[in-house]
Amino acid sequence: MRRNSLTWGKLIVFAIAVLLVATCIAAALIYNQVLNDKTKGFAAAEKTAIRKAGLSEVIQVDRFDSKKSYYIVQGKDKKGKGKFVFIPMAKKEKPAIIDDKDIYAEGKVKEIWRESCSSCTFVKTSAAMIANEPLWEITYKDGSGHYGFAYFSMKDGTATEQFRLSNTIR
């Protein structure tokens, strides 16, 4: 009788181990799929930026989603001049190309934002495009720990929009 119960115990442990391994594999596959979906199209956007804007070096490729979605490619041309290329995901629209010399400095925008939100914690700055206007998006946490997004014009640094997320469900 004891030998039979020992076999059942081993079988249960083996079944739990198999389920645990299967769960880990499924989680890894789902994570990989989500990551691939997030970066899908980056290689094509990079090629488009090289072809349309004459980039010789790509520094970063990102994605911005609003009413219209964009791939945003930051790079340098053959002369070493920096550029941002905003490539609409809607293929029929032309990319917007902006030279670094025409952009209000990211650091200056961060200083303007800091003056308006001294109790906030800076998270990151990203390029954005809303209503065909190139913007700097500053992501931050306010004093209550809520995430916020502030948008500033890349042309002159003026504030355009600000959103704060709340964790309250109503």
Domain limits at 59? 42-102
Query: Within a domain: residue 110?
Result: yes
For the chain, the C-alpha Rg in angstroms (whole number) is 24
69 and 117 within one domain: no
112 and 73 within one domain: no
Domain end position, chosen among 69, 84, 102: 102
The pLDDT of residue 1 is 46
Token output for 126:
């990203």
Largest CA distance in the chain: 84
Query: Within a domain: residue 26?
Result: no
pTM assigned to the model: 0.75
Q: How far apart are CA 7 and CA 107, in angstroms?
A: 67
| Out of 2-6, 96-100, 126-130, 143-147, least confident range | 2-6
Counted domains in the chain:
2
Q: How far apart are CA 138 and CA 127, in angstroms?
A: 9
Domain end position, chosen among 73, 102, 131: 102
Q: 65-110, pLDDT tens digit by residue?
A: 988 999 999 999 999 999 999 999 887 889 999 999 999 999 999 9
> What CATH number does residue 159 fall under?
3.10.450.40
Q: 37-63, pLDDT tens digit by residue?
A: 667 889 999 999 999 999 999 999 999
